[in-house]
Structure 1
Amino acid sequence: MPLFNVQSASSLLKLFFSKPLKHSELRKLWLSTHSSLLGDKNLILMGPPGSGKTSVGRVLGQKLGCPVIDVDDDVLEKNWNMSVSDKLQDVGDEQFLEEEGKALLKFSASGSVISLTGSNPLNARSMEHTRKNGIVVYLDVQAEDIVERLEVMKVDRIVGQKSGASIGDILRKRKHFYKKWHDVRVLCQTGDSIEVLADKVIGAVKRYQNLESETFVSTRCTRSDLNPQKDNIKYFCDAVLEGLSPDGGLYVPEKGLPELTPGEWQRLVKSTYTERAHIILERCIHPADVPPVVLGEIIEKAYGENFACNKVAPVRHLVGNQYVLELFHGPTASFKDLALQFMPHLFAYCIPKMGNYLVLVATSGDTGSAVLDGFSRIDEIDKQRIAVFCLYPENGISPIQKSQILACQGQNGRALGVQSDFDFCQTAIKEMFNDADYTGFLTAEYGTVLSTANSINWARLLPQVIYHASAYLDLVSQGVVPFGSPVDVCIPTGNFGNILAAFYARQMGIPIRKFICASNQNHILTDFIKTGHYDLRGRQLQLSSSPAIDILKSSNLERYLHFISNNDGHLVRELYGQLQNQGHFRLPNNLAQLLRQDLVGDWCSEKDCLAAIHSVYNATGYILDTHTAVAKVVADRVQDRTCPVLISCTAHYSKFAPVILQALGIDDVKQSPLTQLQILDSFKPLPPAHTTLLTTLKQKDRQTREICTADSNIVMGHVESFIQNQFFKAL
């Protein structure tokens, strides 16, 4: 059957909404107009056939008090002097699409609500013409709902549907075009009334037009610090570029993160990781900063073929009610890839197109290689003005991690080993940012601005929210929990970024009950959770087999304290001033109690870590890396077993091969890192060998190596020397 009749389709669509509007309600809507919303712009509704564009458009016209134009009725049929269905029968699909596009090119309007046809977005020229004076709103309806509606309408084919293809197939292909053109997306849920959808459209358009609705503040900023003239207002791209606030604080969204409704989350249960990422990030990043089409392109680059698993971050059952969230399928085999395959492309888009940018990063093991790899994948033209300088503790990471960092150096990346620990590396970077004379000199002499890719940068932390949300949706999809039932998360953490991202996922509506903070012998976070006292005095960092959590100064804790203190920047500034000057701070009792409502902390010894690796492998054939083993030990101790616990598997075990081999009973392994990985592979374990990691370690010729003493001035000299070699001097 050809394209359905528009009028009959519109009436049939009403069957799928809770109830049609009465005349009195329409009259009331007319009186309560939003006419100032559009001005001369058009509101353009886009979506598949059966999505409700015509019906929603009519209600929007009433609400906004403006003309309504249905492209089928008011443009195509008047232009052709025949019905759309007759035209399709006359000329066939390809000719129909061509003539549909030509007709739209002749059409213009202003201040109107326009309902496109389902096939309009397939013609690029006509869409470019139509959206020049409009805001394109994508009514994103689940394919299953569309198919059901079209079946009721007795529609068995739509434009562009080839022989043998189902309507579902063509709808999935068309999604690419809808994502390409929309300015605003409205997630439509089963059972939404036409009025509800119209209100959602208005809300989404209001957000789109309110460019100052989503600003960022420093965790150490109070409202009295904000300039009423708004010359110090910060937006998303500012936070990405600057990384660290000038006052030493970390940027956070002033109004917090948006919350999705349970129905909207349930819409994402059957979605892919990239689809989930697109929806979540669209809500968190204002389109004025990054348009949805650009965001979609970045997401496709970030989570495409560079991940070994097509699920990107799959969830696997371990034992009992414990599940592991596998975060190591990216090119550098750690959870850092989930953010750092995304962030470099975002960074390249957000920064001004003039000037050079040096991304400084400190690593406790995994971040370094992930940053170097991620920024090596940006466009060639961007590599000429964006470079990475990575500091790592020379004796504080595993041999394989070091080999990987050195191998990931490339055209726009360099690593420097420091004879100290991670905390020194992180502090050295903060000192460079806070040294106005030094940063001013780099800008004046080399035209170079400093930024950072550590999780102190909001753009690095935000993508981590996605995999925590996605993991819960996967548990729902697998039937482990019904949507709305809580889960606990157990995360090995030293810098508090990963666990904070899970907390933000809960803010957005994912029902996480408890956040279990797993530490090793450097258990300052565990002690802080239990006592409310953050005390660095007399503590010495102890090197362990889980180096990514060998951290005493947890940067991202500051963001969490800012939240539970009701955004009290004055208090946060005071606490971190005490930490800087006195080496410790103590939370007020009320905040310590709030903290313990969310967080549970415990730590794991080296002996228990190795024992966990051994016992889990014997029981399941699954090899945990050292950090995940720490989390497993802590989860066993503190979970109350009344709900599932998601354990973050933060790295592939291959990165810690000597320790893993020791845990599995093979001592005195002195072979090269590559040989150690081959020995591990002979165990035929789960998960299998990480092939990209093996390939990287074979690249010996790229392993340029520099080491320096723990002196901030010497480090700054190395940074300047790298800039000299990387960028032209400013004239």
Structure 2
Amino acid sequence: MEYISTRGNYQKVNSAEVIRLGMVPAGGLFVPEDVPSLSQEVIYQMKDKSYQEIAKEVLSVFLTDYTNKELENAIKEAYNMNNFAAKEVTPIHKLNDRTYILELWHGPTAAFKDLALQILPYLLVQAINKVEVDEDILILVATSGDTGKAALEGFKDVDGIEIIVFYPQDGVSKAQEHQMITTTGDNTEVIAVKGNFDDCQSSVKEIFGDEEFNEIIAKEGYQFSSANSINWGRLVPQIIYYFKAYANFLNQEDIKPGDKINFTVPTGNFGNILAGYYAYQMGLPVNKFICASNDNKVLTDFFNTGIYNKNREFKETISPSMDILISSNLERFLFEMTGHDSNKINEWYQQLNEEGKFEIDNKTKEKIDQLFVGKFATEAETKEIIKDIYQEYDYVIDPHTAVGIKAYKEYFNSSEDKTKTVIDATANPYKFSSTVLEAIDESLLSSKIDEFKILEKLEEKTGVDIHPGLQGLAELQIKHNLNCQVDEIRAIIKKLL
């Protein structure tokens, strides 16, 4: 299999080169030239397979220049009981006859990013060996909260790789921040940026495309790569759990082979829901994707109007991992929806760069409408859903999952679509304990309570065990305390090297 650029500005390359580069050097993102398809028989046979076996099925058709042994080793090292507390890796919790929660947070950092970032280091190291790179790899990561810690955990102490994570100061939860700044490893750095996530992400993407700065880094013996979902190696492992979810339904006989299901995905950078779309392209029977946003509802407005407009107030919300106005992976999605029309992608993204907005054509909009719906939840609605789900089902969810449930409820009320629906639970509730505790029982929350004491309060109230990745977090020593302005990011990279 070969990969091409969404902007038609790079030669075809294999998957190892794609994973090594991270993104197209001249701008744009790599996508498979042709998406492989799986027969309904193969998908049906997954019902009796483990997560690891399904991972092999999915990865082997995309990463065709990796040997079976290389993939098997990466899968074995990534998806085991040492890294994931749940035997199924991504278990499903049934709320009612048509609503199911796909728990994607059983990895070491309590977020869905672990499902990709536990395996990416193995894929990247193998890619470096395949293309015989002499320089060390410098990974730059922009995070809205979860990617940062998951990437740090995956890459710490990996030979030949340095990693620098940039996160928006005051733009992540206290638990998320403490997870990052207490990370060990001789090859890790964490920087708080005085700005928002879009500032971090835009700066990192600009650096990747800055030839002069790349030359400076090369003289220091490094070349850039990415652990964000702009890197195909981050996105392709996420396809796995969509097939696993369908396999679980078949195994439990909740559906018959070929029956369609819906997926509701709390969405920021559009990577998670895009992985679901690639699964659909491969043959997974999907009826609708419900794209769920918080008050930064640039994607909801896009799906409703066909206009992507980032010219709006950036809001800091209680679901900070979704506080994004520039959804990078939408570019890949539009490239697929236009039949790989790089001319349209270049036109639209030039407009986005110059004017902060673009409008897609009617034909593309109509094609999107057949499969995707955009909905959003306000702050008050998010808290209300957390409380309602706890009271009705004795089940505790984080604010991002709550946004997903609210979006699905709104979709159901307007469509009366009774298709069984999976809602991606993207983070463990203890990562956002103060918000969750306040929603469940406001009387238990006091401004005088230490952030980490809230974990204990929430455990006492709900009886749900604190996630292993968050236990004892308060006792960990702070290892990173650097910060910078947005325009100082290049300078601080050079200083650290």
TM-score, normalised relative to structure 2: 0.96
| Residue number in structure 2 paired with 1:274 | 52
| Residue number in structure 2 paired with 1:322 | 99
| Residue number in structure 2 paired with 1:404 | 179
Mapping of residues 151-162 of structure 1, within 5 Å = none
Q: C-alpha distance in 2, partners of 1:484/1:615?
A: 33
2:151 is equivalent to residue 371 of structure 1: yes
Q: How many Å apart are 1:267 and its aligned residue?
A: 1.6
Amino acid at match of 2:247: L
Q: How many Å apart are 1:699 and its aligned residue?
A: 4.8
| Residue number in structure 2 paired with 1:560 | 333
| Residue number in structure 1 paired with 2:269 | 495
Flag structure 1 segments of 5+ consecutive residues without an equivalent: 1-213, 227-231, 724-731
Q: How many Å apart are 1:669 and its aligned residue?
A: 4.3
Mapping of residues 387-466 of structure 1, within 5 Å = 387-444=162-219, 446-466=220-240
Q: C-alpha distance in 2, partners of 1:691/1:670?
A: 25
Q: C-alpha distance in 2, partners of 1:670/1:306?
A: 34
Amino acid at match of 2:494: E
Mapping of residues 254-273 of structure 1, within 5 Å = 254-255=33-34, 257-273=35-51
Amino acid at match of 2:141: V
Contact persistence 2:270–2:327 (CA under 8 A): yes
| Residue number in structure 2 paired with 1:361 | 141
Contact persistence 1:273–1:312 (CA under 8 A): yes
Q: C-alpha distance in 2, partners of 1:400/1:246?
A: 34
RMSD after superposition: 1.3
Q: How many Å apart are 1:660 and its aligned residue?
A: 0.8
Q: C-alpha distance in 1, partners of 2:380/2:103?
A: 24
Mapping of residues 620-635 of structure 1, within 5 Å = 620-635=393-408
Which secondary structure does the structure 2 equivalent of 1:646 belong to?
A: strand
2:31 is equivalent to residue 239 of structure 1: no
Q: How many Å apart are 1:374 and its aligned residue?
A: 0.7
Correspondent of 2:245 among 464, 468, 471: 471
| Cα pair distance change 1:685/1:646, threshold 3 Å | farther
Q: C-alpha distance in 1, partners of 2:163/2:399?
A: 28
TM-score, normalised relative to structure 1: 0.66
Contact persistence 1:362–1:422 (CA under 8 A): yes
Contact persistence 1:220–1:247 (CA under 8 A): no
| Cα pair distance change 1:564/1:354, threshold 3 Å | same
| Residue number in structure 2 paired with 1:672 | 450
Amino acid at match of 2:264: C
Which secondary structure does the structure 1 equivalent of 2:495 belong to?
A: helix
Amino acid at match of 2:74: I
Amino acid at match of 2:326: K
Which secondary structure does the structure 1 equivalent of 2:111 belong to?
A: coil
Which secondary structure does the structure 2 equivalent of 1:691 belong to?
A: coil
Contact persistence 1:396–1:421 (CA under 8 A): yes
Structure with higher Rg: it is 1
Contact persistence 1:490–1:635 (CA under 8 A): yes
Which secondary structure does the structure 2 equivalent of 1:454 belong to?
A: coil
| Residue number in structure 2 paired with 1:531 | 305
Q: How many Å apart are 1:400 and its aligned residue?
A: 0.8
Q: C-alpha distance in 1, partners of 2:358/2:423?
A: 30
Which secondary structure does the structure 2 equivalent of 1:715 belong to?
A: helix
Contact persistence 2:137–2:162 (CA under 8 A): yes
Q: C-alpha distance in 2, partners of 1:353/1:425?
A: 27
Amino acid at match of 2:344: L
Contact persistence 1:343–1:459 (CA under 8 A): yes
| Cα pair distance change 1:340/1:670, threshold 3 Å | farther
| Residue number in structure 2 paired with 1:692 | 469
Q: How many Å apart are 1:246 and its aligned residue?
A: 2.1
2:315 is equivalent to residue 521 of structure 1: no
Mapping of residues 95-110 of structure 1, within 5 Å = none
Amino acid at match of 1:668: S
Q: C-alpha distance in 2, partners of 1:521/1:629?
A: 13
Contact persistence 2:331–2:345 (CA under 8 A): yes
Q: C-alpha distance in 2, partners of 1:519/1:308?
A: 28
- CA offsets 1:643-700 (integer angstroms, 9 cap, x no match): 10000000000010111111012332443332111111112445x32022214x1453
Amino acid at match of 1:661: L
> Size of the alignment, in residue pairs?
488
| Residue number in structure 2 paired with 1:291 | 67
Amino acid at match of 2:198: D
Contact persistence 2:44–2:257 (CA under 8 A): yes
Contact persistence 2:15–2:62 (CA under 8 A): no
| Cα pair distance change 1:526/1:534, threshold 3 Å | same
Amino acid at match of 1:447: G
Q: C-alpha distance in 2, partners of 1:310/1:674?
A: 28
| Residue number in structure 1 paired with 2:117 | 340
Q: C-alpha distance in 2, partners of 1:555/1:498?
A: 12
Contact persistence 1:269–1:473 (CA under 8 A): yes
Which secondary structure does the structure 2 equivalent of 1:313 belong to?
A: coil
| Residue number in structure 2 paired with 1:704 | 480
- CA offsets 1:2-34 (integer angstroms, 9 cap, x no match): xxxxxxxxxxxxxxxxxxxxxxxxxxxxxxxxx
- CA offsets 1:256-311 (integer angstroms, 9 cap, x no match): x211111111221111101110111112111xx21011100000100012101011
Q: C-alpha distance in 2, partners of 1:685/1:565?
A: 49
| Cα pair distance change 1:612/1:431, threshold 3 Å | same
| Residue number in structure 2 paired with 1:5 | none
Q: C-alpha distance in 1, partners of 2:350/2:495?
A: 33
Contact persistence 1:361–1:388 (CA under 8 A): yes
Which secondary structure does the structure 1 equivalent of 2:278 belong to?
A: helix
Flag structure 2 segments of 5+ consecutive residues without an equivalent: none
Q: C-alpha distance in 1, partners of 2:372/2:44?
A: 26
| Residue number in structure 1 paired with 2:257 | 483
Q: How many Å apart are 1:384 and its aligned residue?
A: 3.6
Contact persistence 1:627–1:650 (CA under 8 A): yes
Contact persistence 2:191–2:480 (CA under 8 A): no
- CA offsets 1:211-256 (integer angstroms, 9 cap, x no match): xxx11111011xxx67xxxxx331111110111102310000111x
Q: C-alpha distance in 2, partners of 1:278/1:567?
A: 27
Mapping of residues 13-24 of structure 1, within 5 Å = none
Worse-matched range after superposition: 659-668 or 427-436: 659-668
| Residue number in structure 1 paired with 2:432 | 656
